[in-house]
Amino acid sequence: MTILLDTSVVIDALRRRRRRRELLRSLLDQGHELACCAINIVEVYSGMRPQEAEATTEFLDSLEYIPINTASARHAGMLRAELQRMGQTLSLPDAIIGAVAIQEDVSLATDNARDFSGLKIKMLTMPGE
C-alpha cells in the first residue's frame, strides 16, 4: 500500500523527532511505499534550515512522488468549498494533500488527523513519542 506523508511527518523525520524515522522504516519493512506530493516539497523547503539541504533532498528523493493533477486540484477546491459551506476551515495545503490521497486512493500518514477530519480519507494517525 502507498502511504502519502503529511508534511509534519516529513519534517519530524528530517529533524529526527518523535521517532518518525523508526516508524517510517517500520512501514517500509512491512512493504508499504512512502510518498509525497508537491505541497509537501514546497512546505518542507520553505522551512528548511541551510544545513538541512542535503539531507532534505536525499530524503524527499527517496519517496515516491505523486503529482497533483487536474482531478486532484479540482477535488481540493470542491472540498474546501463544501467544508466552508458547513462552517469548517480547511487550509489550501491540507485540501490539496487530502485530495491527492483521495484521488489516488492512498492512505495519509499524519500527526494532525483533526486537520483532515472533514474528509473521507484513509488515515494512518502517527503515534506520539
pLDDT score at 128: 66
User: For the whole model, what pTM was predicted?
Assistant: 0.94
- Residue 16 grid cell: 529526527
What is the CATH classification number for the domain harbouring 47? 3.40.50.1010
pLDDT score at 39: 97
| Mean pLDDT, rounded, of the chain | 95
- Identity at 103, one-letter amino acid code: Q
For residues 10 and 21, the answer to whether their CB atoms sit within 8 Å is no
Statement: residue 12 has pLDDT above 90? yes
Domains held by the chain: number? 1
pLDDT (tens digit per residue) in 65-77: 999 999 999 999 9
Q: Which residue range is the domain that position 121 belongs to?
A: 2-125
pLDDT score at 77: 97
pLDDT (tens digit per residue) in 53-66: 999 999 999 999 99
At residue 6 the predicted structure's pLDDT band, cuts being 50, 70 and 90, is very high
Average pLDDT over residues 78-107: 96
* 33 contacts: CB under 8 Å, gap ≥ 6: 1, 2, 3, 64
At residue 117 the predicted structure's pLDDT band, cuts being 50, 70 and 90, is confident
What gap in Å lies between CA 58 and CA 21, rounded to an integer?
14
